[in-house]
Amino acid sequence: MPVQEAVTAVEDEEKTASDTETTVPRTKLSGAPTLERVAAESGVSRSTVSRVVNGSPKVRPEVVEAVNAAIERLNYVPNRAARSLASRQTYAIALLVPERVMTFFNDPFFASVVQGITAGMEDSDYILNLLVSSSDPTRKTRRYLRGGNVDGAFVVSHHAADRDLADLCDIMPVVFGGRPALPDLAACHYVDIDNVQGARTAVEHLVVSGRRRIATITGPDDMLAAVDRRTGWLHALQAAGQRADAIAVGDFTEDGGAAAVRTLLSRWPDLDAVFVANDLMARGALRVLAESGRAVPDDVAVVGYDDSPAATAMRPELTTVAQPSETMGRRMAELLLALLHGDEVEPPPLLPTTLVVRETG
Amino acid sequence: MPVQEAVTAVEDEEKTASDTETTVPRTKLSGAPTLERVAAESGVSRSTVSRVVNGSPKVRPEVVEAVNAAIERLNYVPNRAARSLASRQTYAIALLVPERVMTFFNDPFFASVVQGITAGMEDSDYILNLLVSSSDPTRKTRRYLRGGNVDGAFVVSHHAADRDLADLCDIMPVVFGGRPALPDLAACHYVDIDNVQGARTAVEHLVVSGRRRIATITGPDDMLAAVDRRTGWLHALQAAGQRADAIAVGDFTEDGGAAAVRTLLSRWPDLDAVFVANDLMARGALRVLAESGRAVPDDVAVVGYDDSPAATAMRPELTTVAQPSETMGRRMAELLLALLHGDEVEPPPLLPTTLVVRETG
DNA sequence: TCCTACGTTGAGAGCGCTCTCACCTGGGAG
DNA sequence: CTCCCAGGTGAGAGCGCTCTCAACGTAGGA
């Protein structure tokens, strides 16, 4: 039966060729093979080829095979724009990265999350559109997002309290990395790490090793991760029947950590352990502790959070809480993909952390 | 004159509405306004609206105004897929990030470059597609790139020696961040930082401050940046009439730097300065130097490269070479945009570095 | 034997836009 | 006065795909 079709194909090509002569093509017509071409090549209709490409079950296996062979032979790749236009889906997902995160140095956490996301999307048809938005998202970004250019979005951020982001959730499925600090949590989806448990485990470790005056250096209160870690610290101390009053607030930077531990030392000179909400601050703390003549971990134990490369770069090496950042990215991808697929999803569980015991506590 | 047109618009809406009743729309038809709609609203043809949207000069100013008003009123955003399909341009650019770079994210350098790129693209119609490719780029990535889904590509990498990437240059404009280690350089475009001059300046600084035995710790030979830095070191020493034999190869990690400086110390115990090809290795070197009882900078001066946050985190603070990473990203964006626009471009000049003198030399 | 049902397939109408071309004006040249 | 040209405009044909619907066997039941 391919005879007639083969003729059609030839005619087609000739017509194309002569068209080329007369109408002057805007770009090389020779370019990508189309569905039409594959149809001619395999002797079926465009519709059937489309079905094969999209994995419809209602095509005879032998036809599927023939079409796939033709696709292979022609090296056919579907045209995304055409597909989008016809199906009203973009097969694109926005990856929103607040500018702050980009400049936020040395935080391999986000890089890992993004890597997890990309890994999780690998087998899907979706691609990622990188949007680095400043604190005041530009007209371009907004228009882009509202203009129906993406089917969904990831938000990778520490404090995702943007008003625009909340609205975004109404237009398309959005998955946040970390519980967003949004008023209406119900509307949006997120994957989070169990910061409370992570901190709690760290502090329990300190308690078990005999520490009796355990302070903490927290992050800014507008970052939920920081708040959660402090809560974990509190719970562990309450469970152990210890006082939980030695708190200093840092800003997640090394200098902030240094300043915070100085405050701590002056108000609670008898402290014998500090749980620090991230590694960078822990480094600052270590420095000040050394300057003040206290031995780590003999006089004061220190436990950080993140298990960043900085942790092993310190002397002594930092005991810290490792976060499953890449897993987080993967879960985010899975969640969004499910949402996009229209599946009924339930909130994914909090991801567990791991305490990495090194030299400081 | 809008009377007749207004009627048309109403009819249009009614037809749409009744269609909705009978044919059952796949998605809410109410959705985005189309060119057609804007045309009806402003009483001109679709063609004219298209001209206005694309900034054609051959439209009467008053018409332009009327159309823009309608666009504003309707909150019209052009449909990217339709535009792509018709114009055979995608208005998308691939941002290729080798996986290694993601994991190797001790390096705020890349984050800055990416930020520069996004900043440079802000005012264009193009958007970025993030493609994190493993060393063996997946089928998906390849197909995506060859499938005509992007108009151009950025490659952000240390060693861009991929064979696939070379081929990519034949299909579309590609701009590399850093001179690619490709056989046929002529075919592709890049923006690079003047590593030779950066290193040379650093070493000259050492020479001027009276150092007489200046060693270097280089990076791997397959990274052009490393090779260039070593060349700069060589040139400076030759110009100063000093011996240039004290070389140890590192791997850009802290431990690599430590090992390298140990080698250096054992073979050239009289060295009084080390130029280290990146900050991370410099940290390792500093540690070993301290362990070996040498004072920095009194006995041995150390100069790093990158001016990463790590530089200021060290004690003593590291003298190092700052790279204009964000500028590099910006230039990359400008270059690719020009290429895409069809402009005749000449290779951009090497970007100058800055020596940041701190405490180590 | 006819009718219905099902499983496959093809035809064709768009999706929203760009771009060519033909058409209209009006003004200057012949 | 006619012709031509140019700027400005609209009509209409696609771009490559999806999706509905109708048409086609073919097989089962009445």
Is the Cβ–Cβ distance between B129 and B80 less than 8 Å?
no
Which nucleotide has the least CA–C1' distance to B36? C16
Which amino acid is located at B205 in the chain? Answer: H
Q: Is the CB of A46 under 7 A from strand D?
A: yes
Higher pLDDT, residue B106 or A231 = A231
Best mutation target, A130, A133, A134, to test chain B (most B CBs within 10 A): A130
The predicted structure's pLDDT at residue B102: 60
Closest chain B C-alpha to A114 CA, distance in angstroms: 9
Q: In chain B, which residues from 85 to 144 place their CB closer than 7 Å to nucleic acid strand D? A: 85-86, 88
Closest chain B C-alpha to A244 CA, distance in angstroms: 31
Tell me the pLDDT tens digit for each residue of A317-335. Answer: 999 999 999 999 999 999 9
Q: How confident is the model at residue A28 (pLDDT cuts 50, 70, 90)?
A: very low
Alpha-carbon distance of B185 to B65, in angstroms, equals: 48
Which nucleotide has the least CA–C1' distance to A87? D18
How open is the CA angle B264-B269-B271, to the nearest 5 degrees?
75
The predicted structure's pLDDT at residue B249: 96
Q: Which of A32, A41, A122 is nearest to A77 (CA)?
A: A32
Alpha-carbon distance of B80 to A34, in angstroms, equals: 20
Give yes or no on whether B92-192+326-350 and B195-322 have one common fold: yes
Q: How confident is the model at residue A161 (pLDDT cuts 50, 70, 90)?
A: low
Classify domain A92-192+326-350 by CATH architecture: 3-Layer(aba) Sandwich (3.40)
Share of chain A above pLDDT 90, in %: 59
Is the Cβ–Cβ distance between B172 and B189 less than 8 Å?
no
The predicted structure's pLDDT at residue B160: 54
Lowest mean pLDDT among A22-36, A119-133, A186-200, B340-354: A22-36
Which nucleotide has the least CA–C1' distance to A76? D16
Is the Cβ–Cβ distance between B156 and B113 less than 8 Å?
yes
Higher pLDDT, residue A30 or B102 = B102
What are B197's two structure tokens?
């001059």
Helix (H, G, I), strand (E, B) or coil at A345: coil
According to DSSP, the residues that pair with A276 across neighbouring strands are A217
Best mutation target, A80, A115, A314, to test chain B (most B CBs within 10 A): A80
Name chain B contacts of A340, Cβ cutoff 8 Å.
Answer: none
pLDDT surpassing 60 at residue A13: no
Q: Which of B176, B83, B188 is nearest to B125 (CA)?
A: B83
Closest chain A C-alpha to B77 CA, distance in angstroms: 6
CATH topology of domain A195-322: Rossmann fold (3.40.50)
- The whole-number average pLDDT for the span A10-30 is 35
The most distant pair of C-alpha atoms in chain B lies apart, rounded to whole Å, by 93
Tell me the pLDDT tens digit for each residue of A88-117. Answer: 999 999 998 877 665 554 567 888 888 899
Q: Which residue among B88, B147, B283 sits closest to A27, beta carbon to beta carbon?
A: B88
What are B101's two structure tokens?
């770079």
Q: How far is CA A41 from CA A2, A52, A60, A65, B146, in A?
A: 8, 14, 17, 13, 21
- The whole-number average pLDDT for the span A251-268 is 94
CATH topology of domain B16-87: 434 Repressor (Amino-terminal Domain) (1.10.260)
* Domain residue ranges of chain B, discontinuous segments joined by +: 16-87, 92-192+326-350, 195-322
Among chain A residues, CA nearest to B147 = A77
Q: How confident is the model at residue A180 (pLDDT cuts 50, 70, 90)?
A: confident
Higher pLDDT, residue A317 or A142 = A317
Alpha-carbon distance of A280 to A118, in angstroms, equals: 27
Among chain B residues, CA nearest to A111 = B102
Helix (H, G, I), strand (E, B) or coil at B351: strand
Q: Which of B198, B359, B350 is nearest to B277 (CA)?
A: B198
Lowest mean pLDDT among A26-40, A130-144, A206-220: A26-40
Q: Which residue among A81, A106, A132 sits closest to B108, beta carbon to beta carbon?
A: A106
A316 CB burial (10 A radius; 0-12, 13-18, 19+)? middle
The predicted structure's pLDDT at residue A101: 61
Higher pLDDT, residue B12 or A278 = A278
pLDDT surpassing 60 at residue A2: no
pLDDT surpassing 50 at residue A184: yes
Residues whose CB falls within 8 Å of the CB of residue A246, separated by 6 or more in sequence, listed in order: A213, A214, A215, A216, A264, A267, A268, A271
Is the Cβ–Cβ distance between B251 and B222 less than 8 Å?
no
Is the Cβ–Cβ distance between A250 and A282 less than 8 Å?
no
Alpha-carbon distance of A309 to B284, in angstroms, equals: 13
Residues whose CB falls within 8 Å of the CB of residue A272, separated by 6 or more in sequence, listed in order: A211, A212, A213, A214, A299, A300, A301
Please give the model's pTM, rounded to 2 decimal places: 0.85
Return per-residue pLDDT of chain B as tens, 361 residues. 333 333 333 333 333 333 333 333 333 345 788 999 999 989 999 999 999 999 888 889 889 999 999 999 999 999 999 999 999 999 999 999 877 766 555 567 888 898 899 999 988 889 999 998 776 666 778 888 888 899 999 998 766 566 777 788 888 999 999 888 777 777 789 999 999 999 999 999 999 999 999 999 999 888 889 999 999 999 999 999 999 999 999 998 888 999 999 999 999 999 999 999 999 899 999 999 999 999 999 999 999 999 987 788 788 999 999 999 999 999 999 999 999 988 888 889 999 999 999 999 8
